[in-house]
Amino acid sequence: MYKQLLQVLIFSFFFISCKSEVRKESNQIINSKKPNIVIIYADDLGFGDIGVNGAIGVATPNIDKLAKNGINFTDSHCSAATCTPSRYSLLTGSYAFRNDAQILAGDAPLLIDVNTPTLPKMLQKNGYKTAVVGKWHLGLGNGTVDWNKEISPGPKQVGFDYSFLIPATGDRVPTVYVENQNVVKLNIEDPLRVSYTEKIGDVPTGYENPEFRKQKADPQHNKTIINGISRIGHMSGGKSAWWVDEEFPDKLVEKSKAFINTNKNQPFFLYLAYHDIHVPRSPNKRFLGKSDMGLRGDAIAQMDWCTGEVVNYLEELGLDKNTIVVFTSDNGPVLNDGYEDEAVEKLGAHKPAGVYRGGKYSAFEAGTRMPTIVYWPETIKSKTSNALWSQVDLYASFADLIDHKLDSIEAPDSFNMLDVITGNSAEGRDEMLEESFTFSLRKGEWKYIQPLVTNKKKSLESGIGWIKKKGIEPGGSLQPQLYNLKEDVSETTNVALENEKLVEDMQSKIEMIKKKGTRF
């Protein structure tokens, strides 16, 4: 008995001292000792799309190296099954439904209220220089953006000292980079205009000149053609500023390295958000044929290369041992998301979501269960972790890492998972919300999916039919769904009817979460 108690005490002491080891450095007065934070955010990358998680047909040596020398998580989640909501949660520590975050148009206003506490603002307060490089998709300006002037509010007003943006998505106009809230290389003689309602200017569109396209596209992706790719939305002018999709990897790596280099002598936070492997998939010719899966696989190879470039650069500058790198993705995988790029035809035996059911947009696990690796040489040890946690937790976890005490309005849904993220604990969350077109709740071994709020079969089909058309199982039903993930990780057998009380409890827990921040 005493022996056991002693063991517990020794273990606790060891555990606490490991944790304080992680923090000790951040307490030192020399600012440069605070760990740098790099979040590498892939787009639409599924759990099974990386080598260490079983990818077939594409190699990801750089990402695998991070996983082998860091922690590879099997039950880590983005907050939602689509991009904008996940990014909103990552940066605010708040569930996306609290601000009604949905996939945004390319001319949507800034979604994050400038008075909302954000992860980059919290880090700034603690002496960090902060940057976002890559896909933004959180809106810009106040609703009527003039792309020819400084665009405000934007990343600066939510806490980023430096920004280099793909403003919305690769498939949406405007197809220009925005650096520190100004369109890059814009010629004022040729003003840039954007419309999501009607054709403007005389740039060919996919519906008028389909012969100009490199890839066939569905009607939503068939508007203005830029660089041989028809996009969502219309655009005219600004020709000198138009991006070349094939240059994304080099541009994003270049801008990331420049930011790291400029700030190497002080703590920094880099949020590097790739376009890859979102549509349109148009990798640089260096990566064509690098996979057996056509453009989708080649985009994975390209994204892996970018990851290697940035991580190796940290090493080259001697920063790697003082930098925590989180590699993850914003939502589950999708094959045909609007363009015919042969992702379906060339898939072979590869399973983008691994053993999980569903994909992007889906309420099933593949919607939010993300490939997730945390890498911090010499501070964290190599392992696999099955702990449950969400990207919404990064805010509170990084706050703890640098000894920032959260106040009552900060990060209302963010739980401190620092010990989990750094591998000192395998005890993740007890409960976690997953957002999609409905709500799901994880609790212990259970996964509950809230029924859709309609009684008409027709409305159900119109609500989720479009997801089915993409070959993805939406996971929506008029009935409650309950799965035991311990026995049925692929969510094949709905056991809601046998567990009425549990279903009721989980539904009421969702109601509680809806009412107020889960941290309080």
Chain residues that interact with Ca ion, rule: CB under 5 A: 43-44, 83, 330-331
Q: Please, what is the minimum distance in Å from the beta carbon of residue 515 to ligand NG6?
A: 27
Within residues 424-483, the interface with ligand NG6 by CB under 6 A covers none
Among 53, 331, 385, 440, binds ligand NG6 (CB under 6 A): 331
**Are the C-beta atoms of 482 and 494 separated by less than 8 Å?**
yes
In sequence order, what are the residues at sequence separation of 6 or more whose Cβ sits closer than 8 angstroms to the Cβ of residue 223? 173, 199, 205, 206, 207, 230, 231, 232, 233, 234
Three-state DSSP at 218 gives coil
For residue 252, state whether it binds ligand NG6 (rule: CB under 6 A): no
**CB nearer to Ca ion: pick between 327 and 446:** 327
Contacted entry of ligand NG6, Ca ion, none for residue 337, CB cut-off 5 to 8 Å set by kind = ligand NG6
Of 465, 430, 467, 433, the closest CA to residue 448 belongs to: 433
**CB nearer to ligand NG6: pick between 6 and 344:** 344
Contacted entry of ligand NG6, Ca ion, none for residue 276, CB cut-off 5 to 8 Å set by kind = none
Among 79, 126, 169, 236, binds ligand NG6 (CB under 6 A): 169
DSSP structure class, residue 241: G
Here's the x/- map for ligand NG6, 212-231, by CB under 6 A: it reads as --------x-----------
For residue 411, state whether it binds ligand NG6 (rule: CB under 6 A): no
Q: CB nearest ligand NG6: which residue?
A: 83
Alpha-carbon distance 68 to 70, whole Å? 6
Among 75, 337, 434, 473, binds ligand NG6 (CB under 6 A): 337
For residue 278, state whether it binds ligand NG6 (rule: CB under 6 A): yes
Alpha-carbon distance 447 to 140, whole Å? 36
How far does CA 41 lie from the centroid of its chain? 5
Sign, CA torsion 326/440/95/134: positive
Of 350, 251, 250, the closest CA to residue 296 belongs to: 350
Alpha-carbon distance 321 to 130, whole Å? 19
Sign, CA torsion 351/357/362/365: negative
DSSP structure class, residue 39: E
**CB nearer to Ca ion: pick between 327 and 483:** 327
**CB nearer to ligand NG6: pick between 62 and 169:** 169
For residue 175, state whether it binds ligand NG6 (rule: CB under 6 A): no
For residue 392, state whether it binds ligand NG6 (rule: CB under 6 A): no
Contacted entry of ligand NG6, Ca ion, none for residue 434, CB cut-off 5 to 8 Å set by kind = none
Among 18, 103, 485, 495, binds ligand NG6 (CB under 6 A): 103
Q: Please, what is the minimum distance in Å from the beta carbon of residue 102 to Ca ion?
A: 13
Contacted entry of Ca ion, ligand NG6, none for residue 18, CB cut-off 5 to 8 Å set by kind = none
Task: Tell me the helix, strand and coil percentages in the chain, rounded to 5.
Answer: 35, 15, 50
Sign, CA torsion 170/171/175/180: negative
Contact residues toward ligand NG6 (CB under 6 A) are 43-44, 82-83, 103, 137, 169, 171, 220, 232, 278-279, 331, 337-338
